Structure 1
Amino acid sequence: MPIDAVKAVAAEPRTAGIRWDRKDVQLYHLGLGAGVPATDPGELRYTLESRLHVLPTFATVAGAGKAVAGVVSLTGIDIALASVLHGAQSVRVHRPIPVEGRAVQSGRVAAVYDKGSAAVIVLRTEAADDDGPLWTNESQIFVRGEGGFGGERGPSTGFALPAVAPDHTVERHVREDQALLYRLSGDWNPLHADPDFAAQAGFDRPILHGLCTYGMTVKAVADTVLDGDVSRIRACSTRFAGVAFPGETLRIDMWAADTRAVVTVSAVERGGAPVLDSTLVEYS
């Protein structure tokens, strides 16, 4: 059996030291489309070392994180990379991420769920430095064709939207080369660069990384709702409802309250096709 759920969950956590510096942070932000306009004071907080702050979603790539591609080599899991899709993601930061740092990161398979036509592998990663916990990531990885093994179905990550018009709507353009730039932060899955590999996975061209769309969305919330103060963000979660392609325009709808924003993302050129749903940004 390609996935041995019991063996995968029982495996010892994988622990490794990671490090990052301002260039890693700047590259990540640029991969999200930051820096447009280049001299805008708000954008300089993402691109200029003397003003730099760190978007919490950087936790998904710190130390060249590669949860989606790395899942194929975990204990108890023997699957093809082309069958893997990112289903959902959450990040909780325990304090602002420093511009430069070292940490110990520990990751494990927290659960394996049976969705019938697919299996869902839940990867949980925690990082801490000398001052204590930094962040906790949780990735839900869908593996097509590997369900039906009789396991628990698992909880739903979806929720209903407010029954009123959004408080804010912004649009963000995805550059043609954005996936090529974003992958330099550590996710080398050829699905995002190689047309032949994308065709094997059922797409007519390479798609944008789901985590790139996720980071773009959280940045949009920070810039629109929080006046760019990323230090206020405590947690952010999303469900990948569809795909985005380089060259498209993303419509980001936000319902903002005192301590959280509910968000959806859709592709304008494809008639509002869903890209992210059940997205929540929590802040102070």
Structure 2
Amino acid sequence: MHLSYEELLRHDIPEVRHAYSQRDAIVYALSVGLGQDPLDALDLRYVDEQYGPCILPTMAVVLGYPGFWLKAPGIGADVTRLLHGEQSVTLLAPLPPSGEVVGKTRVLEAVDKGDKGLLLYTEKELREAVSGRLLARTAATHVLRGDGGMAGAPTQARAAPSFPEGAPRWRETVHTRPEQALLYRQNGDRNPLHSDPGVAKAAGFDRPILHGLCTFAAVNHAVSRRLGKVGEDAFESVSMRFAAPVFPGETLAIDVWEDGAFRASAVGRDIVVAQGRQTHR
């Protein structure tokens, strides 16, 4: 990376004005796996306008999204080796099913892990464009595997959140689709790691991987359904830590605890891919 630690913390990421329609909300819902069962009355509220309009709370991560800003001239990050480490969303007001919003993203911290890379912590505030009302805060941690060794950066990462010691109460299943990453790209995340086999191979994967934010939304929706907390009047927040990539077409088994904790595993590989917690109003 060309930027120093101090320059990275001061880097101004331009705010993004984002007008979106109900159709955009439907495309988002389809891209994270809703609608696979055409008789599912709950999912129809998100994918068919005559039953809605409803919008998934995790859409806050793509609204006002600043794009692939690390690829901008002068930054010099090794984006081919970038992975999504953590993501959270906190809703502060209901997301309108259509409208115009403004997203402002800023760098919170960077932590150097040497040959393991650089941890980059960012936060976005999402506001209604006209009123300025704060709708949501999202936070992300990205792992820049090729950018370790940043002079002056702290070396202590944030502690992992606590997790229940007892057995989960439920197990849910999510089936991802082979073309799901190609569809999810239509939400604005055009990182070629998720579509270009050559880029995926250069990054160390046999084939393109699913967007972390697609996994984030699919798992969150399954957990909300199991807990009976679907809808803007029930959902408050979700935080998730990614442990391994998901490949499009894989099946995920999701263990859910009564307190909102969850853990997702890739069935065919028998490895944990993500874990986290929901909170509710």
2:14 and 2:66 in contact (8 A); partners too: no
- Match of residue 126 from structure 1: 125
1:46 aligns with 2:46: yes
3-state secondary structure, aligned to 1:269 = coil
1:282 aligns with 2:269: no
- Match of residue 37 from structure 1: 37
- The alpha-carbon deviation at position 80 of structure 1 amounts to 2.5
Q: Structure 2 unaligned runs (5+)?
A: none
1:265 and 1:276 in contact (8 A); partners too: yes
Separation in 1, partners of 2:21, 2:33: 19
- Match of residue 206 from structure 1: 208
**2:86 aligned to which of 85, 88, 101:** 88
Q: Structure 1 unaligned runs (5+)?
A: none
1:2 and 1:146 in contact (8 A); partners too: no
Deviates more, 1:190-199 or 1:143-152: 143-152
3-state secondary structure, aligned to 1:264 = strand
2:78 and 2:147 in contact (8 A); partners too: no
Normalised TM-score (structure 1):
0.91
1:21 and 1:99 in contact (8 A); partners too: yes
Deviates more, 1:46-55 or 1:201-210: 46-55
Separation in 2, partners of 1:77, 1:137: 23
Separation in 2, partners of 1:227, 1:36: 20
Separation in 1, partners of 2:4, 2:160: 27
- Match of residue 264 from structure 1: 263
Deviations 1:116-147 (A, max 9, x none): 22111112111111161011111111111322
3-state secondary structure, aligned to 1:89 = strand
- Match of residue 159 from structure 1: 161
1:11 aligns with 2:11: yes
Deviations 1:6-38 (A, max 9, x none): 012123352231111111110010011101211
- The alpha-carbon deviation at position 234 of structure 1 amounts to 1.1
Alignment of 1:66-215 (within 5 A): 67=67, 69-73=68-72, 77-117=75-115, 118-129=117-128, 130=131, 132-150=133-151, 151-215=153-217
Runs of 4+ aligned residues of structure 1 deviating over 3 Å after TM superposition are: none
Separation in 2, partners of 1:163, 1:109: 34
1:174 and 1:248 in contact (8 A); partners too: yes
Deviations 1:226-257 (A, max 9, x none): 25334311111111100111111101111122
Q: 1:17 to 1:88 in 2, by over 3 A?
A: same
Separation in 1, partners of 2:159, 2:36: 33
Separation in 2, partners of 1:174, 1:281: 21
Deviates more, 1:49-58 or 1:20-29: 49-58
- The alpha-carbon deviation at position 66 of structure 1 amounts to 5.4
- The alpha-carbon deviation at position 154 of structure 1 amounts to 4.1
Normalised TM-score (structure 2):
0.92
Deviations 1:132-174 (A, max 9, x none): 1011111111111322334212443523431221111111111
3-state secondary structure, aligned to 1:24 = helix
Q: 1:121 to 1:41 in 2, by over 3 A?
A: same
RMSD: 1.8
2:4 and 2:150 in contact (8 A); partners too: no
Separation in 2, partners of 1:3, 1:221: 39
Separation in 2, partners of 1:109, 1:131: 21
Q: 1:159 to 1:127 in 2, by over 3 A?
A: closer
Deviations 1:64-102 (A, max 9, x none): x255x332328x631132021111111111111110111
3-state secondary structure, aligned to 1:106 = strand
Separation in 1, partners of 2:232, 2:274: 20
1:55 aligns with 2:56: yes
Equivalent residue letter for 1:78: G
Identity, in percent, stands at 34
1:20 and 1:100 in contact (8 A); partners too: yes
**1:241 aligned to which of 240, 243, 252:** 243
Separation in 1, partners of 2:159, 2:66: 22
